[in-house]
Structure 1
Amino acid sequence: MNSNRKGKEGERELANLLKDRYGYDCRRGQQFCGSNGDADVVGLPGIHIECKRVEKLNIYEAVEQSINDAREGEMPTVMHRKNRKDWLVTMTMEDWMELYEKQRIHRDQ
């Protein structure tokens, strides 16, 4: 399978996972209108998703791409997996701590 096709299939797979398992109305970001600066997968407000479905990933380059492409108010996030492995989520420590603090404050109320 070529890398472009594998990437598109990975985006569909991730969007379907977020929709079917977690209930978010997600879809491929570029499925209707071509390259327009959208995230690879859209539907999680405030999160810019770069989707990587590869065996060898330079995670720092992927995070940098997400940082560069994220819009104001979006947390750059890379969701990635290899064949026969679970999906992983990578983001900066600062953004992860912001999410954690929001969750902790909400839980403690």
Structure 2
Amino acid sequence: MGAMQRRKGGDGEREIAALVRDLTGWDVRRRVRQHEGDSDLEGVPGWCVEVKRHARATRADVRGWWEQTVRQAASDGLLPVLFWRQDRDEWRGVWPVALLLGVQCAQTWMAYALSVEGTVEAWAAVARNINASSCPRYSVRWKVATAISDLGNPSSVEAFDRCDTRVE
């Protein structure tokens, strides 16, 4: 990756950190020293954040970024959220539809087909109300090994039906 691409990525991370900070009131900042598998932002409780800033993005690109985000989140036991933006466009967020269905199970959010895409403002409204790290309403039990094996599996909808971790 060239210096210009790294700068563009860092600028995008700072931009989305400021936006999330403004929308949630959390102390969100760019993670300066990132290692493979680290969340791009710090201060987003219970979430693993991946940020992508590209000139153009196809649906296949977004799907690949989502799969990367899910793998990173699963390894840390966090909820995945992907923020991405094309040049001269608005920021978009992708997060698990399971949050809106009242189900917390890794199998229900692994597949891109079971994700939600919306504005950063919409994600922030969900995240503030379902703070994954402190909300006692949600019983979170991640089944990481099974979930990772289901990554990209078209039968992931069947995994949703097998999930036994429900909101109490």
TM-score with structure 2 setting the length: 0.51
Q: Which amino acid aligns with 1:89?
A: G
Q: Which amino acid aligns with 1:37?
A: G
Structure 2 CA distance for partners of 1:11 and 1:98, relative to 1, 3 Å: farther
Q: Which amino acid aligns with 2:45?
A: P
8 Å contact 1:18–1:25 — kept in the other structure? Answer: no
Q: Distance in 2 between matches of 1:74 and 1:96?
A: 16
Q: Distance in 2 between matches of 1:78 and 1:94?
A: 15
Structure ID, larger Rg: 2
Q: Size of the alignment, in residue pairs?
A: 101
Q: Which runs of 5+ in 1 are unaligned?
A: none
Give 1:78 shift: 0.5
Q: Which runs of 5+ in 2 are unaligned?
A: 104-125, 131-136, 138-168
RMSD over aligned Cα atoms: 2.6
Instruction: Select 2:65's aligned residue among 62, 70, 73.
Output: 62
CA deviation map 1:49-86 (0-9, x unaligned):
10011122301110011011114431111111122322
| Pairing 1:88–2:111 present | no
TM-score with structure 1 setting the length: 0.75
